[in-house]
Structure 1
Amino acid sequence: MTSRTDTDVRPITEAEFPDWNRALNTGFLQPPAVGAEQLEARRKQFGPGRLLGAFDGDRCVATFRSFDQQVTAVGGALVQADAVSSVTVTATHRRRGLLTRMMAQDLAAAKERGDVVATLIAAEYPIYGRYGFGPATTMTEWTVDVPRAGLDARRAAPEDGGRIDLVDGEDVRKLGPELHERLRRAQPGAVSRTELWWQIRTGVVNANGSPWTEPYYAVYRSADGEVEGMAAYRSDDHWGDAKQPLNTATVDWLLAVTPDAERDLWHYLCSIDWITTVKSGWRAPDDLLPHLLPDPRAARITTQADWLWVRILDVVRALEARTYEGQGSLVLEVADRGGLTGGRWRLEAGADGASCAPTTESAHLVLDVGELAALWLGDESAVRLAALGRVREERAGAARVADALLRTSRRPWCPDMF
């Protein structure tokens, strides 16, 4: 058996890219063989220099990838992030510290580059808290029982003067990026999308190796013709014993920048002939969907879980980047086992912005950097974390002060998997 020190962790070379991809597929329990088309797509998707591998001899046994990203802070500021993905350790090499070594190397490089935070979507909950990440957004999926929803079956078009059109992938590539840009600048927790993202989601680039099947694309235009919403969805083909259609429409993604667009897209999906069930895809936990139906109970939650995880790399820049609901000051003592951004900081926040600076004053709240990350986008409650023993009050009432400053009226949401 190879020792910890015998396994080499390093950026991979071009010659090692096929073996790295084989290890990646193996770690995610996908067929290990990676075809030439999939390799070429991943070369476009995976930037050079940010792919790490752990090698036992000449065999890749662990994978790690990061890339540049922007995440939207509360108030709309676009914060530079180190997005972490493609993390695997082969089953034969578990518990040898390989992920710890890869993560430490990547986060140190991100800190050196000046990234404010790191982000990831965690496949397993217990792993990433060890590295200073905290769950910062939640994802919810609803399943809508269409016959129960109470919508008027005679409805044929939006009643607000808008319209819905079905389009193709080329239209999506033209219209989607600008629509997403409007959404992400208003949605805390949203992340940037590249041109390649749109190419993959419209079949131009085949990144997973499976045959491409185009979904349906619906676009909502307001009464003045402006694109304000878009959805991609698929349908199965299921009929009951009595020759009754029991088809399900599954939403791949839905973007809307106005309440009218959001309402009319969901009503459209629930009005399609033969569709009796609509699966919403990944939505914000306070999404409007249930209450856009005459009977909100027709939409039941079928999945709810943590989604975007954040790791603070620069406390000052992270706290100064966002806006605040109230006005006040708070002294935070932040523990960081990774040694990247621990210390004691005084936050002064108000309607005109915020300042954050090192201080020697006594702390009001003591917390780990991962708990600060969970609070940063406004979704978590310091009072709740204090009750769980994950935040300690050094001044009575400090957790309530933190909530008054940090929490937001609408919950953050990340529409993307990466």
Structure 2
Amino acid sequence: MSLEVRTLEASDYSGWLRATRLGFLRSATVSDEEIELRRPYTDLARAQGAFDDGRCVATFRSMPRDVTVPGGAVLPSSAITQVTVSATHRRRGVASRMMANELAATAERGEPLAILIAAEFPIYGRFGFGAAAGVTEWHVDTARAGLRPPADDEDGRVELVDPADVFKSGPELHERVRLQAPGSINRNDRWWELFTGKVQVPGGDPWKEPIFAFYRDSAGRIDGLAAYTVDDKWRGMYPESPLEVKQLIAATPAAERALWRFLLSIDWVTTVRTGFRAHDDVMPLLLGDRRAARIDNSSDFLWLRFIDVPRALAARTYAAPGAVVLDVVDPYGYAAGRFRVEAAPDGTATAEAAPSVAPDLTLTAADLATLYLGDESAVRLATVGQATESHPGAAARVDALFRTSRKPWAIDGF
């Protein structure tokens, strides 16, 4: 029987939500309360389902999100999520059909990028997505850490605050922080409602209220936020309480250092799990014994796909003046072509199609995506045959332009 793939109607939503749960290997039971809370935040025009004899067996939706690029500019993007296919309907091309629909819609809406977080690495490269920003998670033995002394500019203070304070002041802080972190996206009011417990949606993971802390500078401005939970565990009369960081964002280096020192020196806490951080997070540099920070996980996280290459390349800044011509291969066609990027001394750039100009480097749209935010090196790609130089040194020239001083960091999942 052929499968019907289409955008959702209001009457499809409950069955679609059940199919999403099953696709993620969870119970299909969905309460009326959960449907009522989730439905207003699902744009049916951006949601698809595959239906077999009226039953939803695959799901797909996207959301509008602004993503930060190097230099602090933001670009509208299609944030793809809730992609599932029932175990009974795999290998029938359903996900490919829904992705093709979404990429066409993304282009029609004028969004130059599509982004997603991949549950499995091999899936999305064939659709032109590349791993563009990764994460690392550390496990810190606080007894061994040996924190380094504070710097002279750490004259602010850390204070514990209520969820209501976070809901009020957190959004402005996050806007400041995410413009400094390529790969980060904007947050809506619902994100903050869920984060602070103002709204709790049944059917998800159990919510445990974190402990919240602000960092204020000497003038009282909120420059940092930490949220964490602690399990009260003891072995006899000895505390062995693990702390898990749910969020740590900082708009200044002083705030970042002070919040890490605070979390790593709380009484009774013997281990700290950092949560997902940038690959080059500064936390280990604050330790007298960096071996006390053990990497538990280091992985790809945010994947990116070009729809409008010139617009995306012109939006970011570059590390050095110069020009390169990129020949981009894209079977879907959206990013295919030859493009010249010319960066000025101030880092700004122009980018335009240059079909008649000889290329410096040839690569796929997916591989260009890995370079775009500064997570990968063109020289590395050329070394393994994923990029082809037209002349020696071309990959190094690309790296000289595209490199960034820090690794990209997608602060939030979606």
**Shorter-chain TM-score tier:** over 0.9
Shift of 1:208: 5.2
Letter in 2 for 1:362: A
User: What's the CA shift string for 1:93-152, capped at 9, x where partnerless?
Assistant: 000000000001011011111101000011100000010000001100111100101149
What's 2:214 paired with? 219
Q: Output the CA distance in 2 between the equivalents of 1:150 and 1:71.
A: 37
* Structure 1 consecutive aligned stretches of length 4 or more whose deviation exceeds 6 Å: none
Letter in 1 for 2:51: F
Shift of 1:211: 4.6
Is the CA contact (8 Å cut-off) linking 2:19 and 2:28 kept in structure 1?
yes
Structure 1 residue 94 and structure 2 residue 118: aligned? no
Structure 1 residue 199 and structure 2 residue 199: aligned? no
What's 1:329 paired with? 323
Q: Output the CA distance in 2 between the equivalents of 1:7 and 1:48.
A: 19
Which of residues 334, 348, 353 in structure 2 aligns to 1:358? 353
- Identical columns (%): 50
Q: Output the CA distance in 2 between the equivalents of 1:159 and 1:335.
A: 49
* Aligned-partner SS, 1:367: strand
Change (3 A) 1:318 1:161: same
Is the CA contact (8 Å cut-off) linking 1:323 and 1:351 kept in structure 2?
no
Letter in 2 for 1:51: A
What's 1:416 paired with? 412
TM-score by length of 1: 0.95
Which of residues 103, 106, 127 in structure 2 aligns to 1:131? 127
What's 1:44 paired with? 40
Alignment of 1:290-305 (within 5 A): 290-305=284-299
Letter in 2 for 1:52: Q
Letter in 1 for 2:10: E
Which of residues 90, 94, 99 in structure 2 aligns to 1:103? 99
Q: Output the CA distance in 2 between the equivalents of 1:338 and 1:118.
A: 14
Change (3 A) 1:402 1:152: closer
What's 2:178 paired with? 184
Shift of 1:387: 1.0
Q: Output the CA distance in 1 between the equivalents of 2:33 and 2:314.
A: 44
What's 2:6 paired with? 10
What's 1:275 paired with? 269
Which of residues 380, 383, 390 in structure 2 aligns to 1:387? 383
Letter in 1 for 2:263: L
Change (3 A) 1:44 1:295: farther
What's 1:163 paired with? 157
* Aligned-partner SS, 2:185: coil
Is the CA contact (8 Å cut-off) linking 1:312 and 1:369 kept in structure 2?
yes
Structure 2 runs not aligned, ≥5 long: none
Change (3 A) 1:288 1:208: farther
User: What's the CA shift string for 1:349-377, capped at 9, x where partnerless?
Assistant: 12242111122111111111011111111
Change (3 A) 1:285 1:309: same
Is the CA contact (8 Å cut-off) linking 1:37 and 1:206 kept in structure 2?
no
What's 1:264 paired with? 258
Q: Output the CA distance in 1 between the equivalents of 2:261 and 2:32.
A: 42
Letter in 2 for 1:223: S
What's 1:62 paired with? 58
Letter in 1 for 2:262: Y
Q: Output the CA distance in 1 between the equivalents of 2:153 and 2:318.
A: 37
* Aligned-partner SS, 1:383: helix
Q: Output the CA distance in 2 between the equivalents of 1:287 and 1:270.
A: 15
Structure 1 residue 376 and structure 2 residue 372: aligned? yes
Letter in 2 for 1:310: L
Change (3 A) 1:167 1:328: same
Is the CA contact (8 Å cut-off) linking 2:161 and 2:212 kept in structure 1?
yes
User: What's the CA shift string for 1:202-234, capped at 9, x where partnerless?
Assistant: 112223525532111111111110100001111
Is the CA contact (8 Å cut-off) linking 1:38 and 1:206 kept in structure 2?
no
Q: Output the CA distance in 2 between the equivalents of 1:281 and 1:347.
A: 36
Letter in 2 for 1:234: T
Q: Output the CA distance in 2 between the equivalents of 1:348 and 1:160.
A: 40
Letter in 2 for 1:385: L
What's 1:246 paired with? 240
Structure 1 runs not aligned, ≥5 long: none
Q: Output the CA distance in 2 between the equivalents of 1:47 and 1:239.
A: 47
The two structures, once aligned, show a CA RMSD in angstroms of: 1.6
Change (3 A) 1:398 1:208: farther
User: What's the CA shift string for 1:181-213, capped at 9, x where partnerless?
Assistant: 001111111111111110111112223525532
